[in-house]
Structure 1
Amino acid sequence: MTARELDAAGIHEPGLRAAYTHCRDLNARHGKTYFLATRLLPVDRRPAVHALYGFARWADDIVDDLASTATAAERAAALTALEVQLESGLRDGRATEPVIRALADTAGRYGIDHRHFADFLASMRSDLTVTGYASLEHLGGYMHGSAAVIGLQMLPVLGTVTRHEEAAGPAAALGIAFQLTNFLRDVGEDLDRGRLYLPADLIAAHGVDRARLEWS
């Protein structure tokens, strides 16, 4: 994290600056396109975006890291531990883990609804047991937690001037659009993890089923 970004955001306490810097490093290392996109944002908003990314990356890695030998039960336990840390950090702001500390500070600064983080973790947890979706309607609940809430988290950070009620729908829809695009891009990678997000009824309408995708 550059000192200029932290200073512009009014983040001065050394430990908190270190927490945000840690999140920025995660973004730069693992989310290169997202990281580059943050360079287009106002300098004072970048630390908050890095904090949101750091949290999402942490949870996603627990569930999806192919290099990990952790069992499903161990991944579930890790998600539970993350959830406990999150709830504590959001409640009293005294987290020692850097990602949670930066996230809690961001949530407080921008008034982000804590339910968005809980919904995100719920979708991540479902990845440990759900391997496919029968319909787009069935997929909708997952996409709310994995994608729509990301758009909703970003609304206050971006300084949206439109009334929240008017902006929330398009923000959620944009998050879902990104998610659907990722599903199309990552079919092979997701199948390697034992999952298929493309709804069975939609691909069947085009003469495709899961077995054919796995074969190809």
Structure 2
Amino acid sequence: MSADRLAQGYRECARLTWRHGTTYWWGAQLLPPARRRQVYAVYALCRLADDIVDAPDATTPAQAEATGRELEAFGRRFFDAVATTRDGRPVSEPVLAAIAEAVVAAGIERECFERFFAAMAMDLTTTSYETFDDLLGYMEGSAAVIGEMMLPVLDPVDPAARGPARALGFAFQLTNFIRDVGEDLDRGRVYLPQADLRRYGADPWLRRVTPQWRAALAHEIDRNRELYAEADRGVAMLPPSSARCVATARVLYSRILLRIEEADYDVFSSRIRVPRPEKLWVTATSVLRPQRMTRAAALAESTP
């Protein structure tokens, strides 16, 4: 494949990240260009797979089998692209070529992607999770593994960074689950543990903020912040540019939780977002002091 076509693939990966994963996009701005492209590529792969199972009616009884075949076919194309790239042969699809080049260059293990695709397939048959441990089983392949995929890109200076990277993957996805309750209901899914909802007498299907709903979501937010605190240990285990990247993404994502609290736990009326000026400020500040940023975020989150 020509350099122009490969560059086209990377540009599309960047576009997908900007459109759907702005927190990743802003964090990646603080990485050297080659590693920035790798972040975009890994995100793009996950987004393209997620889009298959999140398409309208993709998981209805009439469509689930066809969606499964589409997901399997995409997985095969990805693994074939990686094998072709390792053999030094060109990949015809620009986006897959960019993704495969990034995966090979970063040395991301095949097993990570096998776990990821297995978790995506779970969305075709599973619409709820009884306990948090059950949810963690799903998130092992849909969240923790994302942290593991990104770790070689971030080039940690301490092998102990794997645990915090996994925790950050869990934290990011739990934030998504809390923020996206309404959107997931539209797909017939509830990712908040059923046992927790029963404990507080909360029913997301009402799509209404009640005292019970506030209590249930506050519980999940507290749990989410514990994961962010665990992830914060890893910032010091990264080289400077990677530490700035991770600190930016961590602070921006966790601010979604603050916005949800400010909205009185209303995740039904509209999608909670962190405004762009705030993203710019966080990104600029973390350039100078990434570890102080995460410590300050943790302190703010622990203050009533």
Scaled to the shorter chain, the TM-score interval is 0.7 to 0.9
User: Is 1:113 matched with 2:113?
Assistant: no
User: Is 1:88 matched with 2:80?
Assistant: yes
User: Is 1:198 matched with 2:198?
Assistant: no
Aligned to 2:200, what secondary structure does the other structure show?
Answer: coil
Q: How does 1:178-193 map to 2 (within 5 A)?
A: 178-193=172-187
Name the CA distance, whole Å, in 1 between partners of 2:133 and 2:57.
Answer: 32
Residue of structure 2 in register with 1:153 after alignment: 149
* Structure 1 residue 60, shift from structure 2 partner: 0.8
Name the CA distance, whole Å, in 2 between partners of 1:79 and 1:16.
Answer: 24
Residue of structure 2 in register with 1:141 after alignment: 137
What's the TM-score, normalizing by structure 2?
Answer: 0.62
Residue of structure 2 in register with 1:171 after alignment: 165
Letter aligned with residue 70 of structure 2: A
Name the CA distance, whole Å, in 1 between partners of 2:107 and 2:120.
Answer: 23
Residue of structure 1 aligned with 2:21, choices 25, 31, 47: 31
Deviates more, 1:29-38 or 1:54-63: 29-38
User: Is 1:17 matched with 2:11?
Assistant: no
Residue of structure 1 in register with 2:128 after alignment: 132
Residue of structure 2 in register with 1:98 after alignment: 94
Name the CA distance, whole Å, in 1 between partners of 2:112 and 2:158.
Answer: 20
Deviates more, 1:123-132 or 1:26-35: 26-35
What's the TM-score, normalizing by structure 1?
Answer: 0.85
Residue of structure 2 in register with 1:44 after alignment: 34
In structure 2, stretches of 5+ residues that fail to align are 208-304
Letter aligned with residue 101 of structure 1: A
Residue of structure 1 aligned with 2:68, choices 59, 64, 76: 76
Deviates more, 1:133-142 or 1:67-76: 67-76
Aligned to 1:205, what secondary structure does the other structure show?
Answer: helix
Q: Identical aligned pairs, as a percentage?
A: 46
Q: Is the 8 A contact 2:57 2:187 kept in 1?
A: no
User: Is 1:66 matched with 2:56?
Assistant: yes
Q: Is the 8 A contact 2:139 2:170 kept in 1?
A: yes
Residue of structure 2 in register with 1:5 after alignment: none
Name the CA distance, whole Å, in 2 between partners of 1:175 and 1:183.
Answer: 12
Q: Is the 8 A contact 1:85 1:95 kept in 2?
A: no
Q: Deviations over 1:2-54 (max 9, x none)?
A: xxxxxxxxxx9333222212211222233333322221223331110111111
Name the CA distance, whole Å, in 2 between partners of 1:46 and 1:67.
Answer: 34
* Structure 1 residue 67, shift from structure 2 partner: 8.2
Q: Is the 8 A contact 1:38 1:49 kept in 2?
A: yes
In structure 1, stretches of 5+ residues that fail to align are 1-11
Q: Is the 8 A contact 2:144 2:169 kept in 1?
A: yes
Deviates more, 1:28-37 or 1:81-90: 28-37
Name the CA distance, whole Å, in 1 between partners of 2:13 and 2:104.
Answer: 17
Displaced runs of 4 or more, over 4 A: 67-70
Q: Number of residue pairs matched?
A: 200
Quote the RMSD (CA, aligned, Å): 2.0
Letter aligned with residue 183 of structure 2: E
